[in-house]
Structure 1
Amino acid sequence: MSVTPFVQMRGRARRALRTRGATALGKLPAAPGRAGQLVGRARVAEARRVFKAGGDAEAVVAPLLDADADTDSRVRGRAWALVAEARSAAGQHGSALEAARTAAALDDDVETSLIHRRLAQSTSPDEAATALARALGQRPRNRAQIALVVEALRSADRESVEAWRTHLARWGIDGLDERLAEVEAEIALVGADPLDPVLAHWWEQLRRPTPAVARALDRRRDWDRLAAQVSAHPPAADDVPALMKEAALELRKAAARALTAGYTSAAETLVNHSLALRPDDLWARDTWSNATDQLRVVREGWTPTPRGELRLDAAPRHVLSVLAQSLPHLSGGYATRTHGVLTGLVADGWSVEAVTRPGFPYDRWSKHDTRVVPPVDEVDGIRYHRVLTDARVYRQYPLTSYVGKYAAAIEAHARRHRASLIHASSFHVNGLAAQQAAARLGLPFVYEMRGLEELMKVSRDPAFESSDRHRFTAGLETTICHAADRVFVITEALRALMIERGVDAEKLVVLPNGVHTDQFTPRPRDADLAASLGLTGKTVIGYAGGLVDYEGLDLLLEAVALLKERAGSSGPDFHLVVVGDGHFESQLHALSTSLGLDDVVTFTGRVPHDQVASYLSLFDITPFPRLPLPVCEAISPIKPFESMAMGKAVVTSSVAALTEIVDDGRTGLVFDKGCARSLADTLERLLESPALRDRLGGAAREWVLENRDWRHVTSIVDATYRTLLA
């Protein structure tokens, strides 16, 4: 039999893909018919590999996205589905959903429909339901697609399970009754109130209840109840290996999430049962080691290292700063504050170098990321040293071992720099290691508390306050403060909290956030950008920052809805622009749509750093509507200072940390925290009075120039250092 040209082409393509991967894909010629489909599928497969490795998957499939691409519509649909996943992973939720819609229009495959459903769930529930129904109506091509449908049904309802059961019977697919019963059990357990009778029912009904119950109680965040259940009814260790493996896996996943959430005792119990079924599970062993180490610290506490005699030739004005992160790899509030303080100290005549936690920045990157950073980065004359090995994973447990190695690295850098003082900033691992190194060298130790993990966790889960993790972090942070010679805190509210915890008030010094007032200055509106966004002639309410739950942006949308309603038939002459991204972005999009605000709200998504100033130039009013939560009461953001330095009219909620910044009626306006109507009233005052906006913005800039320029802030540090080294 002769070999056809198509078969020859297919063989060459396959060999090229195996040997050259994505590079070869770009060189393959366009081909008609089945050959084109082969190349298209190969591109999608290679793009998926690139996506998993953290690369630019969209670039790989770009030739398939055009409507004129010479390939099958199903292949194009799968390419668009992959683009949707990649954009979602990058935080581009709006464009991800649009890509998913395009994919679904081209390809009604099960997997494509389920991607569409997942991306639509948070913003368009009806659209998500339609996508699920479409997926359920398509016959699965293989076992993998059956597994995907089963997974999707777990977050659906019993009616959807019944619908798929009917389709399966029509297709002649059997053998899934037990799996579907487990899905029904999970759905029932997640919504059960009271839980106990429903749990007892399904524990008796299911042949293998542990996996379904573990998934359900994990979703309910009821890890203590799950730990009690499996302790009372341990899964059999002599069961069918595949069943043991699934039970072990679900218990291990629940344990890991319980540990992250702070339920350390429950995590230890769950992972013990997981290891009883699969003793060789390395991930379970890691979870067990972490949980048991935290519980040991909670039980036994932490003993600081006693300070000894001076053990190095210290230079009088040399300081080593110990940090969690820094420029140039991250540029958020933590890194910005650090750089502002360090450059200010250098201007005051101090010689300052910094060292970041072991593993930074590798420990924040994908395990597939092969980039290599130098041992030191220099930014504006500040040297940021890294503590790195060939590893990409840097576990912080056992804590004693981690702190000991970290302290040794700090000690080495302190000797090299001839430091006369060590200054560590949040969080506890930095403080513990720096305290140990300073004590060994006989140097003064300063701890800078920029935030508290437990405040953030309690704000999102009030039950966290009684958790093991709360006792762990609060105990260590307080211990560090007791051991330090001075403690800088970011607000008066945080100072009061640490006094309540028993820290000596005399050693607590408020070191507020600041701003480079020569970089953030009043500037004219970017007319071209305003025109491109349809903002010409509009008064702009603007927010630029992280789209996270505690910022109160949902409250801001509710206030804007009230303002739009008040405008009546004439329509509003203002517009809200939201710049940034974050985990709360999809919920905000959904809320904006449900409130009918799509005509007065623009979400830009993440914008390049060098374009942020242009967006800020558009803003006339900058609200910071932080919610009445513990983290917002005690911790101050940097963004308000930047807006004030630019002469913007600032509006803040009445949380303690923000009322320390804004003098109501003089440098900005304050509304009743948590109250959308109060926020709307306050915004309305500013919308109606350009003169008031100008007066408040001018006073805000004057106040920042006098009180919050980084040079002023670092004078507090300078005075503290001088006292300790006198």
Structure 2
Amino acid sequence: MTARPLQPVRDLVLGLGTATTMAREDPALLLVQAARRAPAAWRARAAALLARGRRRGAAHAVGTWLAGHDGEARAEVAALLARGDAPVVVAEIGVLLDVPGADEAGTAATRARARHRRGDLSGAIDAAGATPLGRRLASERTLLTAGTDVRLATAATAAARPHRSPRPADRSPTPRVLHLLTSSVPRTTSGYALRSQEVLRAQRRAGIDAVAATRLAYPVDVGLLGTPDREVVDGVVHHRLVPWHRGGTPRHRLRQHAALALALARDLEPDVLHTTTPWSNAVVTRAVARELGVPWVYEVRGLLEDTWVASFPAAARAAVRASERYRLLRARETELARSADRVVVLGETVRTALVERGVDAGRVVVAPNAVDARLLASDRSPAAARSALGLAPDGFWVGTVGSLVAYEGTDTLIRAVALARADGRDVRAAVVGDGVARPALQRLVDELGLADVVTLPGRVPAAQAPDWYLALDAFAVTRTDSEVTRTVLPLKPMAALALGRPVIASDLPALAELVGDPGAGVLTEPDSPRSVADAVARLADDPALRTELGTAGRRFAAGRTWDAVGQTYRRTYAELLA
């Protein structure tokens, strides 16, 4: 697809307008956010340049943070704060790193940002005062309040319109479904975007006319200018809802989002609207569905309030869980799930949690993460896969493939490799993927003297990912113990199961559902390198056990293909349209 002649101009105007709004609200935050979103190579060069500054000075602290060494950066920021020598940018970084006292060293915007991060929305609004930032925060709190709607029609027209429009008798039997998504491939390659694309493709194979539209201003809002407003990815049409400018507050932006989504929906005439978490997508989708008189589906891919809590250090989580934002977010998500015509979840743990909150059990559908059926036919040995990738053929290889973030607990896996080698076993590891935790993981590998036996190749092309799974003797999901990891089922272990690789996983309810119940791996104590090292030793010493677990995993995965999930969606939509 080619861009329209004025699209580059529009994208540039939108990008500049967004940056101007951020600069007006909080210039220090704009600088920090720009640094975080810069290409990795740029960040690395900037970090090296700043690190040449005076030891323990502000420049060195910023460089350490840019390099991803959060622990060291936290200590340097704390020292600067103690000496009263922290400029505003350093204070802003201190807020992001949860350094005590960072908010008091910054501006009023920094103080507001710190309170907002801790979940004290009212305190943040008070700190920001009558400023653009204060108005934005107040608008956010209003939208988070359960029952707040984005209205697209007058009360008179809404009252006159039936809640459900009858489906024309001459309409094609193929249901048309418009998915309103946060992001999508190929512009984003997160787990969220990958699942969305697999769902869309599976639905089309199941006889559903599935199309997608992404959030307001995406992908311009992440710095990707020039993306066509309509592009086809693997046979799936993706529409981009990109305006010339974004509203000044979250409420204005949701109205824009809803208006553009409604205009698109009027053109496409979908039978069903389908969206995913977060709550902002659901607010827009509910408004558009009511305007059109069609049913809508809310796909709850995780409990967002718990995901937010998991981003904090363990010592801070109890206070964050007691915050105003947590309470509002939980109530908002519950209200939206209860109002949807159907709620899709990825597993029984989230289903149970939503039913306990009052969501009608009969309207909750489980559509789990799944696998491409073609993976089930692979019989390549680990040694052959390692040879193809240029990895050492010797040793027992364990590893993971996916996003590298703190709650994945990949540091536990690396420490377990060190323990297993200290026990006399030739254990090696491959940690494939990228994310904010990668620099710290690389440093840990170096500190433990594992550079020759632990490889971190970074993000690899999707087509090459199966080769890395196949190169492993065992796949590891060593997630930390938190509310989010207890309930959310990850996507990455499914490929390992389909490829017949035993899985070492933290003993958490969501992972037990994937690994323990079907007998496809070994469950270990969360956050315990020793427990993981013992599991590695058990599998390394028992080839027969590896074969038994791999066979069980492949049998389990055979019942969870994307084609099977596509049929689940087809039945769900048919019930809604009956």
Shift of 1:612: 2.9
In the alignment, the residues of structure 2 paired with residue 673 and residue 590 of structure 1 have an alpha-carbon distance, to the nearest angstrom, of 22
For 1:371-391, what per-residue CA distance to the aligned partner results, in whole angstroms no more than 9, with x for missing partners? 311111112221111111234
| Equivalent residue runs for 1:17-166 within 5 Å | 89-91=38-40, 96=44, 100=48, 122=69, 155-156=78-79
* Match status 1:699 vs 2:552: yes
Matching residue within 493, 500, 509 for 1:656: 509
Indicate how the Cα distance of structure 1 residues 395 and 533 shifts in structure 2: closer, same or farther if over 3 A, else same: farther
Confirm or deny: 8 A CA contact 1:323 1:355 kept in the other structure: yes
In structure 1, the residue matched to 2:209 is 351
* Match status 1:561 vs 2:414: no
TM-score normalised according to structure 1 size: 0.65
In the alignment, the residues of structure 2 paired with residue 524 and residue 212 of structure 1 have an alpha-carbon distance, to the nearest angstrom, of 51
Indicate how the Cα distance of structure 1 residues 328 and 721 shifts in structure 2: closer, same or farther if over 3 A, else same: same
Query: What are the ranges of 5 or more consecutive residues in structure 1 without an aligned counterpart?
Result: 1-52, 54-84, 129-150, 158-181, 188-209, 230-246, 276-283
In structure 1, the residue matched to 2:7 is none
In the alignment, the residues of structure 1 paired with residue 94 and residue 186 of structure 2 have an alpha-carbon distance, to the nearest angstrom, of 42
In the alignment, the residues of structure 2 paired with residue 296 and residue 609 of structure 1 have an alpha-carbon distance, to the nearest angstrom, of 40
In the alignment, the residues of structure 2 paired with residue 479 and residue 590 of structure 1 have an alpha-carbon distance, to the nearest angstrom, of 44
Confirm or deny: 8 A CA contact 1:91 1:582 kept in the other structure: no
In the alignment, the residues of structure 1 paired with residue 76 and residue 398 of structure 2 have an alpha-carbon distance, to the nearest angstrom, of 41
Letter of the 2:336 counterpart = I
For 1:210-238, what per-residue CA distance to the aligned partner results, in whole angstroms no more than 9, with x for missing partners? 98997799578589x999x8xxxxxxxxx
* Match status 1:538 vs 2:395: yes
Confirm or deny: 8 A CA contact 2:144 2:332 kept in the other structure: no
Residue identity (%) = 31
For 1:315-344, what per-residue CA distance to the aligned partner results, in whole angstroms no more than 9, with x for missing partners? 451211111111221222212212222222
* Match status 1:290 vs 2:136: yes
SS at match of 1:487: strand
Indicate how the Cα distance of structure 1 residues 335 and 690 shifts in structure 2: closer, same or farther if over 3 A, else same: same
In the alignment, the residues of structure 2 paired with residue 381 and residue 216 of structure 1 have an alpha-carbon distance, to the nearest angstrom, of 42
* Match status 1:318 vs 2:144: no
Matching residue within 551, 563, 579 for 2:408: 551
* Match status 1:710 vs 2:562: yes
| Equivalent residue runs for 1:347-386 within 5 Å | 347-365=205-223, 371-386=225-240
In the alignment, the residues of structure 2 paired with residue 438 and residue 359 of structure 1 have an alpha-carbon distance, to the nearest angstrom, of 21
Shift of 1:486: 1.0
SS at match of 2:275: strand
SS at match of 1:661: helix
Indicate how the Cα distance of structure 1 residues 258 and 487 shifts in structure 2: closer, same or farther if over 3 A, else same: same
Indicate how the Cα distance of structure 1 residues 592 and 616 shifts in structure 2: closer, same or farther if over 3 A, else same: same
Letter of the 1:550 counterpart = Y
Indicate how the Cα distance of structure 1 residues 270 and 112 shifts in structure 2: closer, same or farther if over 3 A, else same: closer
Please give the root-mean-square deviation of Cα atoms over the aligned residues, in Å. Answer: 4.0
Confirm or deny: 8 A CA contact 1:319 1:352 kept in the other structure: yes
SS at match of 1:562: helix
Higher relative contact order, chain-length normalized (CA < 8 Å, sep 6+): 2
In the alignment, the residues of structure 2 paired with residue 253 and residue 620 of structure 1 have an alpha-carbon distance, to the nearest angstrom, of 48
In the alignment, the residues of structure 2 paired with residue 689 and residue 663 of structure 1 have an alpha-carbon distance, to the nearest angstrom, of 18
In structure 2, the residue matched to 1:335 is 193
For 1:544-575, what per-residue CA distance to the aligned partner results, in whole angstroms no more than 9, with x for missing partners? 111111011121122222212211xxxx3221
For 1:306-365, what per-residue CA distance to the aligned partner results, in whole angstroms no more than 9, with x for missing partners? 883445876451211111111221222212212222222222222111111111111122
Shift of 1:514: 0.9
Confirm or deny: 8 A CA contact 1:428 1:477 kept in the other structure: yes
In structure 2, the residue matched to 1:255 is 112
In the alignment, the residues of structure 2 paired with residue 447 and residue 396 of structure 1 have an alpha-carbon distance, to the nearest angstrom, of 27
| Equivalent residue runs for 1:432-581 within 5 Å | 432-461=283-312, 462=317, 463-519=319-375, 521-525=378-382, 530=387, 535-567=392-424, 572-581=425-434
Letter of the 1:476 counterpart = R
In the alignment, the residues of structure 2 paired with residue 98 and residue 226 of structure 1 have an alpha-carbon distance, to the nearest angstrom, of 23
Confirm or deny: 8 A CA contact 1:544 1:616 kept in the other structure: yes
Shift of 1:407: 2.3
Shift of 1:622: 0.5
Shift of 1:542: 1.7
In the alignment, the residues of structure 1 paired with residue 383 and residue 536 of structure 2 have an alpha-carbon distance, to the nearest angstrom, of 23
Indicate how the Cα distance of structure 1 residues 360 and 696 shifts in structure 2: closer, same or farther if over 3 A, else same: same
Confirm or deny: 8 A CA contact 2:139 2:249 kept in the other structure: yes
In structure 2, the residue matched to 1:238 is none
In the alignment, the residues of structure 2 paired with residue 346 and residue 121 of structure 1 have an alpha-carbon distance, to the nearest angstrom, of 41
Shift of 1:443: 0.8
Shift of 1:467: 2.2
In structure 2, the residue matched to 1:420 is 271
SS at match of 1:578: strand
SS at match of 2:297: strand
Indicate how the Cα distance of structure 1 residues 526 and 104 shifts in structure 2: closer, same or farther if over 3 A, else same: farther
In the alignment, the residues of structure 2 paired with residue 516 and residue 97 of structure 1 have an alpha-carbon distance, to the nearest angstrom, of 39
Shift of 1:459: 1.7
SS at match of 1:433: helix
In the alignment, the residues of structure 2 paired with residue 498 and residue 396 of structure 1 have an alpha-carbon distance, to the nearest angstrom, of 34
In the alignment, the residues of structure 2 paired with residue 340 and residue 649 of structure 1 have an alpha-carbon distance, to the nearest angstrom, of 24
In the alignment, the residues of structure 1 paired with residue 92 and residue 503 of structure 2 have an alpha-carbon distance, to the nearest angstrom, of 45
Matching residue within 500, 511, 524 for 1:647: 500
Matching residue within 127, 143, 164 for 1:270: 127
TM-score normalised according to structure 2 size: 0.80
Shift of 1:522: 4.0
In the alignment, the residues of structure 2 paired with residue 698 and residue 649 of structure 1 have an alpha-carbon distance, to the nearest angstrom, of 8
Letter of the 1:513 counterpart = N
Shift of 1:598: 3.2
Letter of the 2:494 counterpart = F
SS at match of 2:83: helix
In structure 1, the residue matched to 2:487 is 634
Query: What are the ranges of 5 or more consecutive residues in structure 2 without an aligned counterpart?
Result: 1-18, 20-33, 152-157
Shift of 1:655: 1.0
Shift of 1:411: 2.4
Structure of higher CA gyration radius: 1
Indicate how the Cα distance of structure 1 residues 298 and 530 shifts in structure 2: closer, same or farther if over 3 A, else same: same
SS at match of 2:476: strand
In the alignment, the residues of structure 1 paired with residue 60 and residue 480 of structure 2 have an alpha-carbon distance, to the nearest angstrom, of 37
In the alignment, the residues of structure 1 paired with residue 192 and residue 236 of structure 2 have an alpha-carbon distance, to the nearest angstrom, of 15
* Match status 1:406 vs 2:262: no
Confirm or deny: 8 A CA contact 1:666 1:696 kept in the other structure: yes
| Equivalent residue runs for 1:577-596 within 5 Å | 577-596=430-449
* Match status 1:605 vs 2:463: no
For 1:267-323, what per-residue CA distance to the aligned partner results, in whole angstroms no more than 9, with x for missing partners? 212212xx6xxxxxxxx51x2122111333456742587883445876451211111
Confirm or deny: 8 A CA contact 1:319 1:423 kept in the other structure: yes
Indicate how the Cα distance of structure 1 residues 378 and 682 shifts in structure 2: closer, same or farther if over 3 A, else same: same
In the alignment, the residues of structure 2 paired with residue 103 and residue 296 of structure 1 have an alpha-carbon distance, to the nearest angstrom, of 43
Confirm or deny: 8 A CA contact 2:342 2:365 kept in the other structure: yes
SS at match of 1:269: helix
Shift of 1:416: 2.0
Shift of 1:104: 5.9
In the alignment, the residues of structure 2 paired with residue 255 and residue 648 of structure 1 have an alpha-carbon distance, to the nearest angstrom, of 48
In the alignment, the residues of structure 1 paired with residue 240 and residue 477 of structure 2 have an alpha-carbon distance, to the nearest angstrom, of 35
Confirm or deny: 8 A CA contact 1:490 1:513 kept in the other structure: yes
SS at match of 2:516: coil
SS at match of 2:210: strand
| Equivalent residue runs for 1:185-196 within 5 Å | 185=84
In the alignment, the residues of structure 2 paired with residue 554 and residue 624 of structure 1 have an alpha-carbon distance, to the nearest angstrom, of 11
SS at match of 1:662: helix
Matching residue within 533, 547, 554 for 1:680: 533
SS at match of 1:660: helix
